[in-house]
Amino acid sequence: MTKKNQRKSLSMTALFVPEIRALLNNKSFSDVKSLISKIPAIDIAERWHNFSHQEKILIFKLLRTSLAGELFEVLKFEDQSFLLDNLDNAEVSQVLNEMAPDERAKLFKDLTPKVIKKFFKLMEKEEVEDVRELMTYDEGTAGAIMTTDYIELRKEITARGAILKLQDTLSFDDDLDISSIYVTDTGHRLIGVVELQDLIKAPSDMLIEALMENTDFIKINEYSPDEEVAQSFKRYDLIAAPVVDEKDELIGVITIDDIVDVIDREATKEIYEVGKMTPGEGKMISYATATVKELISRRAGWLVFLLIFDFLTGTVLKTFQNSLSSVVALVFFIPMLLGTGGNAGTQSSITVIRGLATGDVSFNNLKRVFKLELFAALVMGLIVGLVAFTRALLLQSDPLIGLVVGLTMFLIVLLAICTGISLPFLSKKMGFDPAVLAGPITTSFVDVIGLIIYFKVAQLILPVLR
Amino acid sequence: MTKKNQRKSLSMTALFVPEIRALLNNKSFSDVKSLISKIPAIDIAERWHNFSHQEKILIFKLLRTSLAGELFEVLKFEDQSFLLDNLDNAEVSQVLNEMAPDERAKLFKDLTPKVIKKFFKLMEKEEVEDVRELMTYDEGTAGAIMTTDYIELRKEITARGAILKLQDTLSFDDDLDISSIYVTDTGHRLIGVVELQDLIKAPSDMLIEALMENTDFIKINEYSPDEEVAQSFKRYDLIAAPVVDEKDELIGVITIDDIVDVIDREATKEIYEVGKMTPGEGKMISYATATVKELISRRAGWLVFLLIFDFLTGTVLKTFQNSLSSVVALVFFIPMLLGTGGNAGTQSSITVIRGLATGDVSFNNLKRVFKLELFAALVMGLIVGLVAFTRALLLQSDPLIGLVVGLTMFLIVLLAICTGISLPFLSKKMGFDPAVLAGPITTSFVDVIGLIIYFKVAQLILPVLR
């Protein structure tokens, strides 16, 4: 964000709080309403903690139903609970009925059975069924992010007929998204999709059948992993996609805003894994809400595990104790050799991990990946080996030591790159995310094997060590 | 992707090639047309190299204009050039007129001035102006990803009037996206936005003025960085947003599909930076097209730079040569100490980098970040210090050595976490991406300072070294 924009959004979010508060004090309720209706719900939610308990309830009650619903959806769980506890039954029922079905199901997953039971009594029977159904989907599946609010048409209707039907069924206040309309047969099975804008553009007597587009490539199974759904949104530039069950019956719709969240979550997961942290299902650590305990629980596990893994480097070094005592200069180059090895390994593993995540790399082009990487490894090994040789010569003025360091550097870079590209595949083959093993372990693995290579090379080349 | 789905998409992409080819051989051109119209353009583009030169030209000429346009947009630049070279002038002009303005401007940026001049002669004057304008925007700005095809209405028209106007102006074949319609005043200044679906839902005599929504929070300046635009799409769950110039005049529209690409590019950039690679403006290394040269050029720079930075570790170790010779056992723990320090630093820097990227962290909550991290560092340092102490005791059975190693481990973790959180902020303060400096340098920096700490602590605690 540029400084100018930071100022702009800061002033916006900071200024409306005192303004609303002043209007509330003056009991200018209609002004509060008109002011709030101009501010996006997310901006209000972000400043929600600035209001007192009473103000929160008052503001919420003043909002138009649909606005209240929007605000409610983006509030934190605690704030949602607080409001539900302080509204009367009619208001609670209105809020719950107004919420998007997927958001409502998410809320219910966090409520206690007792509260759920109470709320179910306040809701229409149909909506209760809907919540029950949606709650059965595990997080990370298509079903968990789909909405069950959508419009369905038969293929025999005309464009004009469809528009009239939409106008008949919908009131202006309706939040239902009708930008895509799904076409089903009498068995409720999905057969196509029509964009609202195509209904407008089409000749009025044209049949939906002739107008609709094929959904074979874009329809989604209810249990598909949501990352897979995201891939398909990206591939086909989708804004929305229909979800079907095993009988090909339409059961919901996924929209791009939920997909953007999935894409963000996957990026966080990947970055955390690469960064040797427990990815925690892609839940980002937010400094705004994080506790010291959370920071530690996300990090200590891997840190200690890798430390214990690194115990091996001590064992290796102790094994070669005699070589070390005879040629102390060998020690000088250990951090440089291992550090560069780790860096080279990380570079390769990250290229492969990213490729696997975006679909650019798969087991099908394994061969090409290895071939490219091996050639690159040879060249990079040579370059880095030469630099390391020069460094060793400068520091120690012993060409044999230079040779040992340079040759080891070359071999370690080869080893590191091979490890860096193999581990993501291995990790995936074992059913993990590619980055789970590869990100953290590459460096530690290269450390241990790299040291053994170093001393073996030294024993081979240096006469004193033979 | 699950195996089942991989099979599905594989068979789909693999099977249509021989089928199309057979139909072409039989001269069943109408069958080719109807088959191709069922396959998404991106899937055809992915298999485009399977067709011969002649087949490519034939298929392209057979497609309906709008389908040809869609396919053309997703082809690689070489394939685009090939087609443009092999179509007659009328066809070229049709393709160029059919393209989305932003895609067309992107294509023209890669063409030679001679070819551009030739194509300009084939295009309508208005479109030439449009390309000229769009080409002036630098990559990474809002202007470079906006389209200039959109619908504009005056606020005095009614909902019904608006729909009729849309139906009058647009033909069914029109690719123009009308799901959001922008409202401007006589000075062409943006005053609001109406969703097409709200036009349908609204009472037919309702004025656009009463129907439209505020655009103050979502309108975008033409020169805004596209990452910033992406943040705002995520924040407000946008599908499209209007772009204005400094006079607040509407000049274009950005849609979510381009934003998804920006989000992906930013994630790649961040991951590559963290992975010690030259991010290359977020251009992903694709193994499908990458050369050994590209792999090396993206990696060798940082690898050699960090190697040279690591030269310092050699200098430090040589300085403490005497300590090393007296107590060889100190060497055993060097990789473990530096490795763990690097890991701890990476963990913290990645949390901050991700937070800066998503807006969770800013210079405003710097204090909170440092406080949380420092407490976490103390606890993690203690845990890891104890583990390291135990390891040293087990390997060397000398409590004093154990103390040196454990204490150093504690101090290195503190150092690493402080470095890990400071470098991203420093990097940002200096005007770089937070990950540019922090990702690669944290480990190397901790290596050098960590070694100095180690020997200073040893000299303090071990009597032989005094």
Q: Is B256 on the interface with A (CB under 8 A)?
A: yes
Structure-model confidence comparison of residues B12 and B147, the more confident one: B147
d(CA A113, nearest CA chain B) in Å: 31
Give the separation between CA A68 and CA A99, rounded to whole angstroms. 9
Best residue in B199, B228, B310, B365 for a mutation probing chain A (most A CBs within 10 Å): B310
Mean pLDDT of A292-321: 93
> Count of CB atoms within 10 A of residue B254's CB?
27
**Cβ separation of B314 and A308 shorter than 8 Å?**
no
**Cβ separation of A380 and B355 shorter than 8 Å?**
no
Mean pLDDT of A34-41: 85
Count residue pairs from A and B with Cβ separation < 8 A: 378
Residue B8, pLDDT score: 43
Give the separation between CA B418 and CA B369, rounded to whole angstroms. 11
**Cβ separation of A271 and B267 shorter than 8 Å?**
yes
Q: Which of A206-215, A448-457, B243-252 has the lowest mean pLDDT?
A: A206-215
**Cβ separation of A285 and B351 shorter than 8 Å?**
yes
pLDDT in tens, B316-331: 999 999 999 999 999 9
Residue A275 has pLDDT above 80, yes or no: yes
Residue A177, pLDDT score: 85
Mean pLDDT of A77-86: 92
Q: Is B40 on the interface with A (CB under 8 A)?
A: yes
Contacts of residue A195 in chain B, CB cutoff 8 Å? 179
Q: List the alpha helices (DSSP H) in A26-88.
A: 29-36, 41-46, 53-62, 65-74, 77-86
- Which of A10-19, A248-257, B67-76 has the highest average model confidence (pLDDT)? A248-257
Contacts of residue A454 in chain B, CB cutoff 8 Å? none
The structural architecture, per CATH, of the domain A152-262 is: Roll (3.10)
**Cβ separation of B313 and A304 shorter than 8 Å?**
no
Residue A12 has pLDDT above 60, yes or no: no
Residue A8 has pLDDT above 50, yes or no: no
d(CA A153, nearest CA chain B) in Å: 16
Residue B9 has pLDDT above 80, yes or no: no
Q: Which 387-406 residues of chain B touch chain A by CB within 8 A?
A: 387-388, 391, 395
Three-state SS annotation for chain B: CCHHHHHHHHHHHHHHHHHHHHHHHCCCHHHHHHHHHHCCHHHHHHCHHHCCHHHHHHHHHHCCHHHHHHHHHHCCHHHHHHHHHHCCHHHHHHHHHHCCHHHHHHHHHHCCHHHHHHHHHHCCHHHHHHHHHHHCCCCCEHHHHCECCCCEEECCCEHHHHHHHHHHHCCCCCCCCCCEEEEECCCCEEEEEEEHHHHHHCCCCCEHHHHCECCCCCCEECCCEHHHHHHHHHHCCCCEEEEECCCCEEEEEEEHHHHHHHHHHHHHHHHHHHCCCCCHHHCCCCCCCCCHHHHHHHHHHHHHHHHHHHHHHHHHHHHCHHHHHHCCHHHHCHHHHHHHHHHHHHHHHHHHHHHHHHCCCCHHHHHHHHHHHHHHHHHHHHHHHHHHHHHHHHHHCCHHHHHHHHHHHHHHHHHHHHHHHHHHHHHHHCCCCHHHHHHHHHHHHHHHHHHHHHHHHHHHHCHHHC
**Cβ separation of B284 and A362 shorter than 8 Å?**
no
Q: Is A171 on the interface with B (CB under 8 A)?
A: yes
Q: How confident is residue A340, by pLDDT bands cut at 50, 70 and 90? A: very high
**Cβ separation of B451 and A1 shorter than 8 Å?**
no
**Cβ separation of B339 and A447 shorter than 8 Å?**
yes
Best residue in A260, A298, A410 for a mutation probing chain B (most B CBs within 10 Å): A260
- Rg (C-alpha) for chain B, rounded Å, is 30
d(CA A380, nearest CA chain B) in Å: 7
Q: Is A198 on the interface with B (CB under 8 A)?
A: yes
**Cβ separation of A351 and B277 shorter than 8 Å?**
yes
* Beta-strand relationship, B220-221 and B240-244: parallel
Q: Is A14 on the interface with B (CB under 8 A)?
A: no
Best residue in A160, A180, A295 for a mutation probing chain B (most B CBs within 10 Å): A295
What is the CATH code for A292-465? 1.10.357.20
Residue B3, pLDDT score: 37
- Write out the two tokens for A102: 């997927």
Residues B404/B452, Cβ–Cβ less than 8 Å: no
Best residue in B350, B353, B373, B417 for a mutation probing chain A (most A CBs within 10 Å): B350
- Nearest chain A residue to B336, by CA: A310
Tell which residue, B97, B39, B90, has the closest CA to residue B73: B97
> What is the Cβ-side half-sphere exposure of residue B39, based on CA atoms within 13 angstroms?
27
Residues A294/A285, Cβ–Cβ less than 8 Å: yes
Residue B216, pLDDT score: 87
**Cβ separation of B275 and A235 shorter than 8 Å?**
no
Tell me the percentage of chain A whose pLDDT exceeds 90.
Answer: 59
Structure-model confidence comparison of residues B4 and A176, the more confident one: A176
Residue A239, pLDDT score: 92
Q: Output the average pLDDT for chain A.
A: 89
Instruction: Report the residue from A163, A306, A358 with minimal CB separation from B340.
Output: A306
Instruction: Report the residue from B206, B260, B304 with minimal CB separation from A387.
Output: B304
Q: Which 223-252 residues of chain A touch chain B by CB within 8 A?
A: 224-225, 228, 231, 233-237, 239
B401, B407, B409, B414 alpha-carbon torsion, rounded to 10°: -170
Residues B301/B278, Cβ–Cβ less than 8 Å: yes
**Cβ separation of B303 and A380 shorter than 8 Å?**
yes
Q: How confident is residue A10, by pLDDT bands cut at 50, 70 and 90? A: very low
Residue B14, pLDDT score: 58
Contacts of residue A296 in chain B, CB cutoff 8 Å? 376, 379-380
The amino acid at residue B206 is M
Residue B17, pLDDT score: 87
**Cβ separation of A287 and B361 shorter than 8 Å?**
yes
Instruction: Sketch the domain layout of chain B as residue ranges.
Output: 3-136, 152-262, 292-465
Contacts of residue B274 in chain A, CB cutoff 8 Å? 271, 274-275, 350
Contacts of residue A69 in chain B, CB cutoff 8 Å? none
Q: Is B375 on the interface with A (CB under 8 A)?
A: yes
Residue A9, pLDDT score: 45
Mean pLDDT of A410-430: 95
Residue A238, pLDDT score: 92
Tell me the percentage of chain B whose pLDDT exceeds 70.
Answer: 97
Mean pLDDT of A436-441: 82
Q: Is A379 on the interface with B (CB under 8 A)?
A: yes
Q: Is A377 on the interface with B (CB under 8 A)?
A: no
The structural architecture, per CATH, of the domain B3-136 is: Alpha Horseshoe (1.25)
Residues A258/A239, Cβ–Cβ less than 8 Å: no
d(CA A118, nearest CA chain B) in Å: 32
Q: Output the average pLDDT for chain B.
A: 89
d(CA B328, nearest CA chain A) in Å: 7
Complex ipTM more than 0.90, yes or no: no
Fold classification of A14-136 (topology level): MgtE N-terminal fold (1.25.60)
Beta-bridge partners for B195: B180
Residues B67/B36, Cβ–Cβ less than 8 Å: yes
**Cβ separation of B171 and A201 shorter than 8 Å?**
yes
**Cβ separation of A286 and B360 shorter than 8 Å?**
yes
Sheet of B180-184, strands arranged across: B152-154, B180-184, B190-195
Instruction: Report the residue from A296, A311, A380 with minimal CB separation from B336.
Output: A311
Q: Which of A19-23, A342-346, A384-388 has the lowest mean pLDDT?
A: A19-23
Q: How confident is residue B39, by pLDDT bands cut at 50, 70 and 90? A: confident
Give the separation between CA A256 and CA B361, rounded to whole angstroms. 26
Instruction: Report the residue from A272, A354, A380 with minimal CB separation from B296.
Output: A380
**Cβ separation of B167 and A201 shorter than 8 Å?**
yes
Give the separation between CA A34 and CA A49, rounded to whole angstroms. 21
Tell which residue, A332, A325, A345, A351, has the closest CA to residue A448: A345
Instruction: Report the residue from A315, A365, A395 with minimal CB separation from B314.
Output: A395
Q: Is B24 on the interface with A (CB under 8 A)?
A: no
Instruction: Report the residue from B196, B286, B313 with minimal CB separation from A360.
Output: B286
Contacts of residue B387 in chain A, CB cutoff 8 Å? 304, 307-308
